[in-house]
Each structure stands twice: as C-alpha cells, then as structure tokens.
C-alpha cells in the first residue's frame, strides 16, 4: 500500500529520478505504474539494489535488516520506513518539519517513523518547544489500509458478507463469526483495540512504537506516553484524540495560534474538525477541536491525516528532498 503511494509522490517530487527500479515482495510478473509506464517489480535482487544511488525501503523489518547495513556500508543512501532501525542510536529517526536538523552529510541510513507517531510529532512540536510536554495520552482510530493490502481486501469482503443492511424494528445484531485472517478480529462494522502483538505489560506493538519513537524524535527521554491503538472500519486516514500535559499552562486560543504556524499542519476553523474522508489522498496533518483537557495544564486535540501519505510514503520522499536541498544527495 505504501509502495504505491511512494511511486505517486516520487512522480510529483523534484527529486531527479534517473532510473527507477521497483522491487516487490509479491508474486512474480507484478508491474507497477511510473511516469505512464508499467515497470516490472521482481523480488528484491541484491546486485541491482547495490547499483542504486538511493534506496527506499517500504517493506518488512526483515528485508530492511537483510539489506540496509550492507548498502549503507557501500555508500548507498537508504531511507527506511520499516521499524528495524528506528530506535538504533546510530540511526537518525527523521520527520523533516520536526527534527530535520539531525540530518548529517555523511549519513547513509535514515529511518522514517511509525505512521501513527508522525502526525502527533508534527502537531505537538510547537507546543513542546513553547511550553514543554510532559505526558501524552492517545486514543487512535486507525484505518485498515495501515494494516496492508490483505487486511483491506478482507475488510471489503466482510462488508459484502454482511449483505444489504436495513433497519426493521430493532437495530440489526450482526453475526460476529464472519471469517477473518489478516486482522485479529473481524473489522467490518467493528473496532479492534489491537494493532500488533501484546507485550508483558499489556501494550500492543503499535502502542510501544508510538511511545519510544516520539521520545526519540522530540528528544524527550523522560516523556510519559500512554496509547490505546484501535483499528476502525475506515479505508484511508488515521485519526486520534490526544491529551498533552504541559509544563506551563497555555490557553486553547494561544495553542491555536502556535498550531496555525506549525509547518505541515492544517488547522480547522473553530467548531469544525477533520475526518478521515476529508483527508484521504492529501498530504498535511489536519487538526481541530483544540480545548482544555482534564486539568488547566492539559490540552486536548483531534488529528486526522492520510496514514499512507504523511504517515509513510510522503515522509520518506520529504527526507530525500531535504537532503537534496542541503546539497547532500
């Protein structure tokens, strides 16, 4: 899913793409579109890979672990959207608008963060710099496309499996045994509070990633983060409700002024808010419903954004563009 978006943004980017060599983990004979042509996308091939100047990984941790260090050692620039190296202290984890300053000329391996963490880091950085964020609580509403192609196909199959729904007397009680495989429970007309496996503390993989990656990108090692990551029956577009505890209180009006100037963020008019259907296919992070939380030192906000774009593909392209701008590509 993210690979297709990456090609889309590479076409629109000012990056000087001479030759594009797509690889695919899928079936043989697969093609992908680029600049009006259908390019063969064979399984990854080490020799071709080592001949590239810049490699984007939008694949599994395993593929990245297998190839990234060797490529970087040979001078190939790698921008990795997998989670394999994100927490490696030698690898910068980069969102250009937030911490582009950590990029260095000689770096050959650069990681892009988790698609749920990125928009929160973008939206909260101005507040963090101005008044200090000490605690973050986050409930997510994550679309099915974030779980990949098989999950999205399963979702559409389940919608068809429930048939043509109608209200006759009581609200219909849907059968809960509809088949599922790609996701841990059926997703059509349901929500699933599990994204990844659970650790011993009861946190899912997604929840742990958001916490540790946010600490790294914001350079805030003592930040306390609690996340409930939930899959919802949406095609594109993650959303979240975020509570930020601040070192110094700030009014919602003053927070709105900071957010209005934040790069990469679009703020809804007062009283309005973004939803996944609005943000599908678009690049920015959208924010709304800025208000006081449970205490005067807490702000509450709502975010929606296209998870395949700023959450993943666009961020990788923006890292390369930032390097180009600095003359390091």
Query: Any idea which residues carry the catalytic annotation?
Result: 115, 238
Site map (CB under 8 A) of its own copies, residues 201-220, x = contact: xxx-----------------
Q: Which member of 176, 179, 181, 222 binds its own copies (CB under 8 A)?
A: 176
Of 106-125, binders to its own copies (CB under 8 A) are none
Q: State which residue, 3 or 96, has the beta carbon closest to its own copies.
A: 3
Residue 230 near its own copies by CB under 8 A: yes
Cα separation values, 176 from 70, 143, 187, 232, Å: 47, 20, 10, 16
Q: Which of 26, 43, 70, 172 binds its own copies (CB under 8 A)?
A: 172
Residue from 16, 18, 36, 169 touching its own copies (CB under 8 A): that is 169
Distance of closest approach, residue 141 Cβ to its own copies, in angstroms: 5
**Residues from 8 through 27 that contact its own copies (CB under 8 A):** 8
Strands 298-305 and 238-246: antiparallel
Asked whether 142 and 230 are in contact (CB, 8 A), the reply is yes
* Residue numbers 232-271 binding its own copies by CB under 8 A: 232-236, 239, 241, 243, 252, 270-271
CA 27 from chain centre, in angstroms, equals: 26
Q: Least Å distance between CB 16 and its own copies?
A: 24
Alpha helices in the chain (DSSP H): 2-12, 46-50, 61-73, 96-99, 117-131, 149-161, 205-217, 252-260, 276-279, 314-325
| Listed residue (109, 103, 106, 23) closest to 70, CA to CA | 109
Residues 24-63 that bind its own copies (CB under 8 A): 32-33
Q: How far is the CB of 149 from its own copies (least distance, A)?
A: 6
User: Cβ 322 to its own copies, closest distance in Å?
Assistant: 25
Residue 173 in the binding site for its own copies (CB under 8 A): yes
Least separation in angstroms between residue 93's CB and its own copies is: 21
Interface region with its own copies, contact rule CB under 8 A, candidates 41-49, 69-77, 85-93, 186-194: 186-194
Please tell me the distance from the alpha carbon of residue 113 to that of residue 205, in angstroms, as a whole number.
14
What is d(CA 222, CA 212) in angstroms, rounded to the nearest whole number? Answer: 10
Nearest alpha carbon to residue 139 among 250, 41, 226: 226
232, 106 in Cβ contact below 8 A?
A: no
Q: Is 65 in the site for its own copies (CB under 8 A)?
A: no
Pairing status of strand 238-246 against strand 224-228: unpaired
- Sheet with strand 265-267: strands edge to edge: 224-228, 133-141, 238-246, 298-305, 285-292, 265-267
Q: Which long-range contacts (CB under 8 A, 24 or more apart) does 46-50 make?
A: 48/21, 48/23, 49/21, 49/23, 49/76, 50/74, 50/76
Size of the site for its own copies (CB under 8 A): 77
Shortest distance in whole angstroms from residue 102 CB to its own copies:
26
E-assigned strand segments in 81-208: 109-111, 133-141
**Contact window for its own copies (CB under 8 A) among 14-22, 103-111, 114-122, 225-233:** 225-233
Interacting residue with its own copies among 126, 131, 214, 225 (CB under 8 A): 225
Site string for its own copies, 264-303 (x = CB under 8 A): ------xx-x-xxxx-xx------xxxxxxxx--x-x-x-
Q: Which of residues 71-100 bind its own copies (CB under 8 A)?
A: none
* The one among 25, 40, 51, 156 contacting its own copies by CB under 8 A: 156
28 to each of 14, 62, 110, how far by Cα in Å? 31, 20, 29
Nearest C-alpha neighbor of 10 from the set 242, 323, 328, 320: 320
Residues 125 to 144 in contact with its own copies, rule: CB under 8 A: 135-137, 139, 141
């Amino acid at each position: 899913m993210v690979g297709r978006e990456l090609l889309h943004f590479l076409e629109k980017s000012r990056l000087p793409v001479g030759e594009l060599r797509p690889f695919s983990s899928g079936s043989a004979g697969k093609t992908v579109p680029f600049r009006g042509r259908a390019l063969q996308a064979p399984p990854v091939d080490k020799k071709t890979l080592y001949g590239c100047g810049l490699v984007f990984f939008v694949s599994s941790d395993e593929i990245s672990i297998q190839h990234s260090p060797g490529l970087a050692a040979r001078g190939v620039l790698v921008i990795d959207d997998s989670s394999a190296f994100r927490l490696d202290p030698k690898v910068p984890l980069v969102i250009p608008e937030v911490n582009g300053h950590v990029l260095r000329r000689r770096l050959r391996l650069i990681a892009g963060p988790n698609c749920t963490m990125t928009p929160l880091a973008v939206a909260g950085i101005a507040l963090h710099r101005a008044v200090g964020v000490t605690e973050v609580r986050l409930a997510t509403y994550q679309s099915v496309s974030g779980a990949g192609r098989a999950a999205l196909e399963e979702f559409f199959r389940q919608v068809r499996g429930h048939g043509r729904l109608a209200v006759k007397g009581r609200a219909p009680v849907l059968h809960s045994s509809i088949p599922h495989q790609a996701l841990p429970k059926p997703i059509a007309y349901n929500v699933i509070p599990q994204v990844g496996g659970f650790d011993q503390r009861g946190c899912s993989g997604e929840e742990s990633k958001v916490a540790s990656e946010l600490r790294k990108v914001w350079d805030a090692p003592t930040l306390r983060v609690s996340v409930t990551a939930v899959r919802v029956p949406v095609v594109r577009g993650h959303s979240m409700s975020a509570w930020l505890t601040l070192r110094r209180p700030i009014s919602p009006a003053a927070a709105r002024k900071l957010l209005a100037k934040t790069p990469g963020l679009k703020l809804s008019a007062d009283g309005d808010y973004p939803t996944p259907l609005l943000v599908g296919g678009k690049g920015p992070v959208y924010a709304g419903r800025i208000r006081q939380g449970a205490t005067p030192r807490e702000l509450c906000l709502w975010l929606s954004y296209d998870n395949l774009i700023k959450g993943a593909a666009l961020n990788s392209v923006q890292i390369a563009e930032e390097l180009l701008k600095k003359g390091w590509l």
